[in-house]
A and B are shown apart, each in its own frame.
Chain A
């Protein structure tokens, strides 16, 4: 199993450009999450999904949109990138089963907006 994968691993954008980050998991997890990590901070939740076709806002959702058209994929979009969105982005997934709450993380995407 590949686990959780993220595409791309690195990206540099200019202010105002758009892009989509792709997260894919092959563990048949129901729940998926997007976090961002800034220097000196822990990870903060951007958006999450509890199932195919459903999404919800997290702690820092402004400037981002998400979609979960397929159970295994969770896309994070930046419509008009801003320097404040320079960060490392992590995707994670987990089972819905109450007995197993471990989140599995992808390797991260380092995004720089100039």
Chain B
């Protein structure tokens, strides 16, 4: 069974600063997908970034980037130049091939961006 662990329940960062959210996972699969989703107070799930395990290059999307360490099974999210609108819950998720490619989520990290 795959498990996803987010060890930081809450984090805070000042506007314009950089913050890194941690995620580790456990799997016996060799090829898989990893995701970070953002859930603002509106409750909508928004895809932030995705990483395919066979790609060694770390994914980037504007101010968001990941540090994917396959051997260590680590998938951290870095947010640069933090903005007030980044305040949200952030969920790390593992896509499992044996359940119709459903997502297995961590418990989330609540990020607060302060002025």
Contact = CB atoms under 8 A, between A and B. Distances in A.
Interface of A: 31, 33, 35, 40-45, 48-50, 56, 58, 88, 90, 92, 94, 101-103, 105, 107-108
Contacts of B42: 107
Contact of A44 (B43, B50, B101, B105): B105
Contact of A101 (B44, B99, B101, B107): B101
B16 interface: no
Given A105-B44, A107-B43, A42 B99 contact: no
A42 B39 CA distance: 11
B84 interface: no
A92 B105 CA distance: 14
Contact of B95 (A43, A101, A105): A101
Contacts of B47: 102-103
Interface in B70-108: 91, 93, 95, 99-108
Given A33-B103, A43-B91, A88-B43, 18 more contacts: A31-B100, A31-B101, A40-B107, A41-B107, A42-B106, A43-B45, A44-B105, A49-B100, A56-B100, A58-B99, A94-B101, A101-B33, A102-B47, A102-B50, A105-B44, A105-B45, A107-B43, A108-B44
